[in-house]
Chain A
Amino acid sequence: MSAVKYTRDHEWVKVEGNIATVGITDFAVQELGDLVYVELPVIGDEVRAGERLAAVESVKAASDVFAPVSGEVVEANEALDDDAGLLNESPMDEGWIARVEMSDPKELDALMDRTEYDEFVKEASH
């Protein structure tokens, strides 16, 4: 099992081979409150790291989800169409949002590991 990496915009990315699975973190979900809608990316779309990949809407706010890595969207979690609550129940697993075939895996080096991310969240909430 590969390591999970984190962005400063509170996305996580898990890499298997050349495929990056992307979601939003447990912290992000906790901040957003109950999620009610997820706008999934279109399969086949090219995304660049840092650009908008998807959008999530909670009872509190609507937020963009940014692509942690560049590449082509190869899969979107359609289960979220029926039940956005999956994001609240299982943000780091069943609530994954999309899979991206990476064009530049080196981009992963710029992302944080869990310890760094926890530290980042702790600082940000001060």
Chain B
Amino acid sequence: MKGPQSLIFELSSPGRTAASLPAPEVPTPNLSSLLPAHVLRNDPPGLPEVSEMDVVRHFVNLSQLNHSVDNGFYPLGSCTMKYNPKVNEDAARMPGFAQIHPDQDEATVQGAMELLYSMDRYLSELCGMSRFTFQPAAGAHGEITGLFVIRAYHESRGEHRTQVLVPDSAHGTNPASAAGAGMEIVVVKSDERGNVDVGDLRSKVGPSTAALMLTNPNTLGLFEENVREIAALVHGCGALLYYDGANANAIMGKSRPGDMGFDVVHLNVHKTLSTPHGGGGPGAGPVGVKSFLEPFLPAPLVKLDDATGMYVWDYDRPKSIGRVHSFNGNFGVVVKAWAYIRSMGPDGLKAASEHAVLAANYVMRKLQPYYDLPYDRDCKHECVLAGTRQKREHGVRTLDIAKRLLDFGFHAPTIYFPLIVDEAMMIEPTETESRETLDRFIDAMIKIAREAEEHPEVLHDAPHHTPVGRLDETAAARKPILRYTRES
């Protein structure tokens, strides 16, 4: 494996350039004669001076240090690192999708508008909702959009509700979005089976409750067994139910948030519908609502004009919360998700969820003898094991186990989340992994459990075979070095 790479600044050699430009044919006045002195820098910027080949090799080498779904197993729980079929990319690069502008006349982009229109129908059917917006750029953006819709609904009824209920197993984005929307967060406990504690919910829901935000299956990978009762309880107080779609990969074609009683849904298309996890790049978090909330969705929405048979933008939505993104969201991502839905078909989506659930249960039951299983129930698309035994008996922390996995060529699972499980390891294999891959992962985990007993020091120092060993994360967090400074 490749060793640590130099910074591109360290490759710099004075005067070296990637491109040789011809001499200018016009006069080149000095900058100081064009700009006032106070806006000129004293020293030239410290940009790296490198050849084109230096640049190419540097970044290609860096990219090869990356771990991705395309080069290895990536069981990062709750992130659903599912494979991104390459046909999605082909679809998104078609000129009719890639080389259009949102300001173009509607008549010239009917295909793109039809795609948004039909995607609204597909997702509504999948989720049991009535209408979707594609403006939100990611899941958390969808959450705050959904909360704005919920607030607008309550206010339209003359009600000022300020509290959002969030289970203690929730993703951190739920309370963060609620706080961002100016709401007060009330935490609801989990019961001993890993469900929302209905008694605790009953004592906390009331006339101030705007919504309950719930992920189902929840972050323990467990289906909320009392979701109907929960919905009745929340609706009985006049509050709404928000479905965090982070774990929707477990339920496609099997059960629908709308049927469970949810009023608002977001989907993470990078989790459920096979679009890339951006790394900060464009994403999409479409938000769907039941029909009574449609008037509040962000405008515009695509409408089919029956008289002309044309797709048009519907801006005439007086109760809309307004835009939450420039133009129409990240359209290219929606194209990729659309391509996935069309290649899979309804039966294919259902099979994907079944395989995802089967794979997670297979890993969970195979590893159960070697690691603690805090909630011993059939799981959905992910399972939560715990390294408590290893910590107590051998002084090996879950962090050590995760680091050691890297030596076997696997990405580590999510660790220390959900927060309600000590030494948690949240494993989500996704539907696309073969049984052979799952078995190799299981073997590695069993080997690590043995190492914890026999050679705990191997785990304390792991990883051993990666380009860099154990990083000092504490020092990096306490004394971050955020800028390169040239050594003089």
A interface, CB within 8 angstroms of B? 34, 36-37, 57, 59-61, 83-85
A34/B419 in contact, CB under 8 A: no
New A-B contacts (18) at CB < 8 Å, excluding given A59-B477, A85-B478: A34-B473, A34-B474, A34-B477, A34-B478, A36-B474, A36-B477, A36-B478, A37-B477, A37-B478, A57-B477, A59-B473, A59-B474, A60-B416, A61-B416, A61-B419, A83-B478, A84-B478, A85-B474
A4 vs chain B, min Cβ distance (A): 26
Measured between beta carbons, the chain B residues less than 8 angstroms from A36 are: 474, 477-478
Q: Chain A contacts of B478 at CB under 8 A? A: 34, 36-37, 83-85
Whole-angstrom distance between the Cβ of B423 and the nearest chain A Cβ: 10
20 sample A-B contacts, Cβ–Cβ < 8 Å, listed by A number = A34-B473, A34-B474, A34-B477, A34-B478, A36-B474, A36-B477, A36-B478, A37-B477, A37-B478, A57-B477, A59-B473, A59-B474, A59-B477, A60-B416, A61-B416, A61-B419, A83-B478, A84-B478, A85-B474, A85-B478
CB distance from B208 to the nearest CB of A (A): 17
Pick the most buried of A36, A83, A85: most chain B CB atoms within 10 A of its CB.
A36
CB distance from A81 to the nearest CB of B (A): 11
User: A40 to chain B: closest CB distance in Å?
Assistant: 16
Task: Provide the bound-state CA to CA distance between A61 and B419, in Å.
Answer: 9
- The A-contacting residues of B in range 216-262, CB under 8 angstroms, are none
Instruction: Name the prevailing secondary structure of the A interface residues.
Output: loop
Q: How many B residues are at the interface, by size bracket?
A: under 10
In the complex the two chains form, what is the Cα distance from A60 to B477 in whole Å? 11
Q: Mark B476-488, 1 if CB is under 8 A from A, else 0.
A: 0110000000000
Chain A positions within 8 Å of B419 at CB level: 61
Measured between beta carbons, the chain B residues less than 8 angstroms from A84 are: 478
Distance from B166 Cβ to chain A, minimum over Cβ atoms (Å): 14
Cα distance A27–B290 in the bound complex, in angstroms:
47
State in angstroms the CA–CA spacing of A57 and B416 once bound together: 14
CA distance A85 to B477 in the complex (A): 11
The smallest C-beta distance from B5 to any residue of chain A, in angstroms, reads 24
Q: Which residue of A lies closest to B392 (CB)?
A: A125
Q: How far is the CA of A36 from the CA of B473 in the complex (A)?
A: 10
How far does the alpha carbon of A57 sit from the alpha carbon of B473 in the complex, in Å?
13
Closest 9 CB pairs of A and B: A36-B477, A34-B474, A36-B478, A59-B473, A60-B416, A59-B474, A59-B477, A36-B474, A84-B478
Name the A residues within 8 Å of B477 (CB-CB). 34, 36-37, 57, 59
Q: A37 vs B473: C-alpha distance in the bound complex, in angstroms? A: 13
| Closest CB in chain A relative to B372 CB, distance in Å | 13
Residues of B within 8 A of A37 (CB): 477-478
A10 to chain B, nearest CB (A): 14
Q: Which of B437-488 contact A (CB under 8 A)?
A: 473-474, 477-478
When distances are taken between beta carbons in the complex, the residues of chain B under 8 Å from A61 are 416, 419
Q: Closest residue to A37 on the B side, CB-wise?
A: B477
Closest to A88 in B: B474
Instruction: Note all chain B residues with C-beta closer than 8 A to A57.
Output: 477
Please give me the residue from chain A that is nearest to B477 by CB atom. A36
**When chains A and B are docked, how far (Å) is the Cα of A34 from the Cα of B399?**
13
| Contacting residues, chain B, for A83 (C-beta < 8 A) | 478
Cα–Cα distance between A10 and B478 once the two chains are bound (Å): 23
Q: Chain B 290-323 against A: per-residue CB contact (8 Å), 1 yes, 0 no? A: 0000000000000000000000000000000000
Residues in B whose Cβ lies below 8 Å from that of A59: 473-474, 477
* Of listed B416, B419, B473, B474, residue having the most chain A CB within 10 A: B474
Question: Residues of B contacting A60 with CB < 8 Å?
Answer: 416
Q: Which residue of A lies closest to B415 (CB)?
A: A60
Docked CA distance A61–B473 (Å): 13
- Cα distance, A37 to B474, chains bound together (Å): 10
A83–B416 Cα distance when bound, in Å, is 24
**In chain B, what residue has the closest Cβ to A125?**
B422
